[in-house]
């Protein structure tokens, strides 16, 4: 017998209509926030960032692939990782499905990570992905957009991430590191300190009249809306229903289920 509240169809409909008004208000608010994102001032980028891509050495302009807009997912895959972050992998699982639609609307989607290109290509093959993924190894791109930190910055503390210094779980003192971070580090084949030198994020750029501008970046919980599975779980009867880290890379579930 369920412990959840039950009711008649009429009671359900009354509650659903009340919720619908709240959902409509959230949609209107979301539309307003989108307009405010688009109204942010653009920052001209004069630094010459370099990347390694499937097509060879590339500039930031090259990552646009001839389009005027570029969306970059800052994928946590550091130089010493053996595999990409499981959370970033879950987000990236949806990229191939909609990247073609973006491409036909003047928007290029690309992931960027610090790992060497060969590692990224190997992991892409393992995951069965085809979206563009470039390596920023050896350059300032990740550091300038606050998704990578140096060993020195890590030792000194107070690293800037998500528009504040310190305060994020990835900046916790070694003795206070949350268990999920320890688990993720292990699944990436790194120690905790190495794992925490990379951060997830998303940045938007625009190319006009030969000039590249930075338009927007978001980090941490700002990425929730880009995580496809959570948008569906938030509409499931039991919601996210989380008691810890349950998700895996998509090719690891069978192994986990066999172990149960």
Residue 41 DSSP label:
P
User: Buried (b) or exposed (e) across 232-248, using 16+ Cβ within 10 A?
Assistant: eeeeeeeeeeeeeeeeb
Q: Domain residue spans in the chain?
A: 39-147+199-225
Residue 34 CA to residue 28 CA, distance in Å, equals 10
pLDDT score of 244: 87
Q: Minimal CA–CA distance to 59: which of 107, 112, 121, 19?
A: 112
Pick left, alpha or beta for residue 41 (phi over 0 → left; psi -120 to 50 → alpha; otherwise beta).
beta
Sign of CA dihedral 225, 179, 238, 29: negative
Edge-to-edge strand ranges of the sheet holding 107-113? 43-45, 211-219, 201-208, 69-74, 107-113, 133-135, 50-53, 56-59
Residue 96 CA to residue 48 CA, distance in Å, equals 28
State how far the alpha carbon of 68 is from the alpha carbons of 45, 53, 60, 110, in Å: 15, 19, 12, 14
Task: Identify each DSSP E strand in 114-175 by its residue range.
Answer: 133-135, 160-161, 164-165
Prediction pTM value: 0.93
Task: Output the six-digit token pair for 201.
Answer: 């994020």
Q: Contact, 124 vs 133, CB < 8 A?
A: yes
pLDDT score of 210: 96
pLDDT score of 148: 97
Residue 260 CA to residue 256 CA, distance in Å, equals 7
State how far the alpha carbon of 221 is from the alpha carbons of 66, 75, 123, 202, 226, in Å: 31, 15, 25, 11, 10
Architecture of the 39-147+199-225 domain? 3-Layer(aba) Sandwich (3.40)
pLDDT score of 125: 98
Query: Digits of tens for pLDDT over the chain (260 positions)?
Result: 899 999 999 999 999 999 999 999 999 999 999 999 999 999 999 999 999 999 999 999 999 999 999 999 999 999 999 999 999 999 999 999 999 999 999 999 999 999 999 999 999 999 999 999 999 999 999 999 999 999 998 888 778 899 988 766 676 677 778 898 999 999 999 999 999 999 999 999 999 999 999 999 999 999 999 999 999 999 999 999 998 899 999 999 987 666 65
Cβ within 8 Å of residue 172, ≥6 positions away: 178, 181
């Amino acid at each position: 017998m369920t412990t959840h509240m039950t009711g008649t169809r009429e009671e359900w409909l009354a509650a659903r209509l009340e919720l619908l008004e709240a959902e409509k208000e959230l949609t209107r608010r979301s539309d307003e926030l989108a307009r405010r994102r688009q109204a942010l001032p653009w920052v001209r980028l004069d630094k010459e960032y370099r990347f390694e891509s499937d097509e060879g050495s590339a500039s930031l302009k090259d990552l646009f692939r001839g389009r005027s807009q570029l969306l970059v997912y800052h994928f946590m895959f550091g130089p010493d990782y053996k595999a990409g972050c499981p959370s970033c992998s879950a987000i990236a699982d949806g990229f191939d499905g909609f990247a073609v639609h973006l491409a036909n609307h003047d928007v290029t989607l690309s992931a960027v990570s610090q790992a060497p290109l060969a590692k990224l290509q190997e992991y892409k093959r393992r995951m069965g992905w085809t979206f563009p993924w470039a390596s920023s190894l050896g350059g300032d791109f990740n550091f300038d957009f606050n998704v990578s930190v140096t060993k020195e910055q890590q030792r000194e503390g107070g690293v800037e991430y998500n528009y504040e210094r310190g305060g994020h779980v990835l900046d916790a003192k070694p003795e206070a590191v949350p268990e999920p971070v320890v688990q993720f580090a292990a699944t990436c084949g790194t120690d905790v300190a190495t794992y925490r030198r990379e951060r997830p994020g998303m940045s938007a750029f625009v190319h006009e009249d030969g000039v590249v501008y930075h338009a927007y970046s978001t980090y941490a919980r700002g990425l929730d809306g880009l995580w496809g599975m959570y948008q569906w779980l938030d509409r499931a009867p039991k919601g996210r229903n989380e008691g810890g880290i349950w998700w895996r890379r998509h090719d690891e579930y069978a192994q986990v289920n066999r172990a149960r």
